Amino acid sequence: MTNSISEIERADVILVTGSNTTEMHPVIGSFVKRAVRQRGAKLIVVDPRRIPLVNYADLWLAPKPGTDIAWINGMIHVILEEGLEDKQYIQERTEGFEALKECVEAYTPERVEKITGIPSELLIEAARIYAKAPAASILYAMGITQHTKGTDNVKALANLAMCCGNVGIANAGVNPLRGQNNVQGACDMGGLPNVFSGYQPVGDPQVREKMAKAWGVSRLPEGPGLTLMEMIQGALDGKIKGMFIMGENPMISDPDLHHVEEALRRLDFLVVQDIFLTETGRLAHVVLPGASFAEKDGTFTNTERRVQRVRKAVDPPGQARQDWEIICDLSSRMGMAMSYESPEEIMEEIRAVTPSYGGITYSRIEKVGLQWPCPTLDHPGTPFLHKDRFTRGRGLFHPVEYRPEPEEPDEEFPLYLSTGRILYHYHGGSMTRRSVGLVERAPACEVEISPEDAEKLGIGDGNRVRIRSRRGQIEAVARVTDKAVEGTVFVPFHFAEAAANLLTHSHLDPISKIPGYKVCAVRVEPA
């Protein structure tokens, strides 16, 4: 997030897209609702589903799945056509504007309506509301990123924000809501194939030299590693022989699960480290029992870049151990000695090699966390990014063009399928589906289908249905609801017995290599 969670409440306009905020991020959702109810903030929701937040919105735009670039470019077109852009900001703080201007010329409201289904008058109204706000905040989640053009979707949102001077000021910004409690921290620590901690590039010789010296090795690899999807393909091709999977359940959460299972079964050696025996763990040669969040010390970095302490409340059960202890022992047995005494000692190394974490110590975050960048011990942390200048100097506009999805509905598979989460379960369900209370609330997989589609297909609320795609089929309970719009069905991916990702395709974003979970073609029939 460029800005802080607390700033959402003070925004004049909030644009939410690709995020079912009240169900997936309920605490942040409460900030949005308070901004609307108590401060009179304008709320624009752009989502193919009628999510609960629509009830608080001034405008709801329901685009066809996978058409985000078209409506974002369309909003920019209207803003420029009506002279609502922040001309001074664009001139003083950005570059590449002329290329963007040329790109969005073709995205007239009429053309955007044909592509997206959004009525042109709604698009124009949304553009005016956003552009005229003193401070407008964009919130998005995986409904924007989990597409074959997810990277371009994010660039388009950044273009929109910069056009109106909404980056580098309080209560505004471009704010991704991270999907798990420490996914931001994992990325910050180098859990990406092309960077070390703090997003220091692997390709930079000076960075490699610094890291090699800190870790006491002669050299480090010069090129980036593989992304998750590339690893799965590598296993399938026989190029990767062994895999260590920690706290992840790809046999539920990855696309095209037949493909994933075949890849994992081809490995010579698979290790899974987790707190429960997951579907992936059942395929492993060795399972290492890890400790849960309540059984270890350390830090989590949340969605607003805030580094916070986590303290051990109870001892791990049985032979379970803290992750860092397992990793240190394995590393030492494999010839790279790791002799840390505590998580705090590890944090001290993080500070030493990661400029953005340089001023963060356990004593400074004893009670309240700090937001990076926090480079020195006297630095107060950074509530919002790019205040006076962008990291690269000037903000760069990236013109992006709309292109159709790799798989669109047709006569055989006439409906769009989107996947995601529901309020009562979490990710692969390895924790929440062991909770009696949550299972009582949501015991089985339900497919959301619109009343119009249900009537056409002869399906009633509560009927058992079969959902088929080109890759597989599942059975689920039909939930006929106004949340679904005609032509689109929604299936949560938490349920192993009705795994939504048996249906999804494995086409990837060419840059981020993220799968297109949010758009594929299916048909639904009575089971």
pLDDT tens by residue, the chain, 527 residues: 999 999 999 999 999 999 999 999 999 999 999 999 999 999 999 999 999 999 999 999 999 999 999 999 999 999 999 999 999 999 999 999 999 999 999 999 999 999 999 999 999 999 999 999 999 999 999 889 888 888 999 999 999 999 999 999 999 999 999 888 899 999 999 999 999 999 999 999 999 999 999 999 999 999 999 999 899 999 999 999 999 999 999 998 887 888 899 999 999 999 999 999 999 999 999 999 999 999 999 999 999 999 999 999 999 999 999 999 999 999 999 999 998 999 999 999 999 999 999 999 999 999 999 999 999 999 999 999 999 889 889 999 999 999 998 889 999 999 999 888 888 888 778 888 888 999 999 898 899 999 999 999 999 999 999 999 999 999 999 999 999 989 999 998 888 888 888 888 888 888 888 888 788 899 999 99
* 146 neighbors 514 (Cβ within 8 angstroms): yes
**Torsion over CA: 382, 385, 386, 388 (sign):** negative
Cβ neighbour number for residue 320 with a 10 Å cutoff:
18
Q: pTM, whole model, 2 decimals?
A: 0.91
H or E segment to which residue 115 belongs:
helix 109-116
What is each CA distance from 325 to 190, 249, 281, 308, 321, in whole angstroms?
Answer: 19, 21, 20, 20, 7
Q: For the domain with range 415-526, which CATH number is right: 2.40.40.20, 2.40.37.10, 3.40.50.300, 2.60.120.960?
A: 2.40.40.20
Which two three-digit tokens encode residue 505? 């395709």
* Domain 5-177 belongs in CATH node 3.40.228.10: yes
Residue 169, helix vs strand vs coil: coil
Would 183-371 and 415-526 be classified into the same CATH topology? no
The domain at 183-371 falls in which architecture? 3-Layer(aba) Sandwich (3.40)
Quote the strand ranges of 333-404, DSSP E: 370-371, 395-396
The ranges assigned to domains in the chain are 5-177, 183-371, 415-526
Which two three-digit tokens encode residue 106? 């073709």
